[in-house]
Amino acid sequence: MTGAELKPGDILDRFRIVEAIGHGAFSDVYLATDPQGRRVVLKCPHEALLGDVSAFDRFRREIEIVRRLDHPGIQRAYDEGEARSRPYLVLEYVEGKTLRAVLRERGRLPVDEAVEIARQLAAAMASAHARGIYHRDLKPENVLITPEGRVVVTDFGIGLMAGARRLTWRWLTSTIGTPDYMAPEQVQGKRGDARTDVYALGVILFEMLAGRVPWEGDDPLAIMGQHVNAVVPSLREIDRTIPPPIEGIVRKCLRKNPDERYPDAGALLRDLESWPDLDLAGFVFAAEAPVRLESRRGLWLLAAGISVGFLLASLLFVAAVYLLQHGG
């Protein structure tokens, strides 16, 4: 909490707060209504972080990204150019459950359903990739499924636009992704691109079909190490009913070398739409060599960067709470 948390009934400019629907390390998220009664989502960065140049620049980048996106499979931004008393995002309210909630309730999904969800995800991300925008944190928590079955991608908080400058030193950022869905190049501290999203889509499809992610571990570093070094488990050894072309698609998404993956979500989408007719000769099922880290200190530097990043964020958070509670 920031000490400036909004409560039901509070007014923020022209919006009335209905309820808090999420609290994160960098922002709070609220369900609200506008004067016409339309439900919207307000994403409010913590006030303390607005004084952090890199954090505020990242928030401004997120605003620019969501303004550029226009696809039914991506949460829309509402920007009517009005003056605001503080920075925040106004987003489409999507009725539905996260894919994470669906997987917790149901475990593994039938092949046709999993492929359809992946197809819609790929279509949404193909639209973003065509505009030079990369999500870099695709995971079931950032995917909503409506009662009608529409799949919607949310939270471009660590998204990237092609050609944008780096906001943080490559080894000193706590917002590089989520370990279970991180591509090997993210583990190495690289920025990532469309192929990084393809990798995360492959992990999500694997999880929907297998009921678990490809690699599990006792701590984030153990999981990240497996993304770099471990062989991709065979889906058909988990469930022989999974068609070979689907396993081929997943394995192509999860190649450790980005150059061996689909180049973007559009190429993945084409295979997902025609998977029954795919030629298996076009896929590599053999194990591949582990990725060589650029230096033997790679994972240790990454671990140190993550630890320092979280420590700095925590100290900033505590300081903000203290000042808000005791400041004049």
pLDDT at residue 59, rounded to an integer:
79
- Residue 84 pLDDT level (bands cut at 50, 70, 90): confident
Mean predicted confidence (pLDDT) in 168-184: 66
The highest-confidence range among 210-214, 218-222, 297-301, by mean pLDDT, is 210-214
pLDDT tens for residues 15-46? 999 999 988 767 889 999 999 999 999 999 88
Give the DSSP letter of residue 141: G
Catalytic residues: 137
Beta bridge partners of 98: 144
How many Å apart are CA 36 and CA 273, to the nearest integer? 40
d(CA 28, CA 42): 8
Residue found by looking up tokens 């099922």 in the block: 285
pLDDT number for residue 47: 74
Q: What phi, psi does 224 have (nearest 5°)?
A: -60, -35
Residue 116, CA atoms < 13 Å, CB-side half-sphere: 10
Q: Which domains does the chain have, with CATH numbers?
A: 11-92 (3.30.200.20), 97-301 (1.10.510.10)
Task: State the pLDDT at residue 81.
Answer: 63
Share of the chain above pLDDT 70, in %: 78
What is the longest distance spanned by two Cα atoms in the chain? 70
Residue in the structure block whose two tokens are 């190490």: 225
Residue 176 pLDDT grade (very low, low, confident, very high; cuts 50, 70, 90)? low
Q: Is 133 helix (H, G, I), strand (E, B) or coil?
A: strand
Checking if the pLDDT of 116 tops 80, the result is yes
Residue indicated by tokens 């509670």: 325
Could you give the 3-state DSSP secondary structure of residue 47?
A: helix
Helix and strand numbers, DSSP H then E, in the chain: 10, 10
User: Minimum mean pLDDT among 47-51, 176-180, 209-213: which range?
Assistant: 47-51
Burial of 35 (0-12, 13-18, 19+ CB in 10 A): exposed
* pLDDT band at residue 63 under the 50/70/90 scheme: confident
Task: Give residue 190's pLDDT band: very low, low, confident or very high (50, 70, 90).
Answer: confident
Determine which of 154-158, 192-196, 269-273 has the lowest per-residue pLDDT on average.
154-158
Q: What are the residues facing 203 on neighbouring strands?
A: none
Torsion sign (Cα): 157, 163, 164, 166: positive
Outline where 71-182 has alpha helix (H).
99-106, 111-130
Which residues have CB under 8 Å from 47's CB, separation 6+? 2, 4, 86, 320, 324
Percent of the chain whose predicted confidence (pLDDT) is above 90: 58
Residue 52 corresponds to which amino acid? Answer: D
* pTM of the predicted model over 0.85: no
- Specify burial of residue 125 (Cβ count, 10 A radius: 0-12, 13-18, 19+): buried
Q: How confident is the model at residue 170 (pLDDT cuts 50, 70, 90)?
A: very low
Q: In angstroms, rounded to a whole number, what is the distance separating the alpha carbons of residues 194 and 263?
A: 7
* H helix runs in the chain, sequence order: 53-68, 99-106, 111-130, 184-187, 194-210, 220-229, 235-238, 244-253, 265-273, 298-326
Of residues 72 and 305, the one with the higher pLDDT is 72
Nearest to 227 by CA among 255, 204, 252: 255
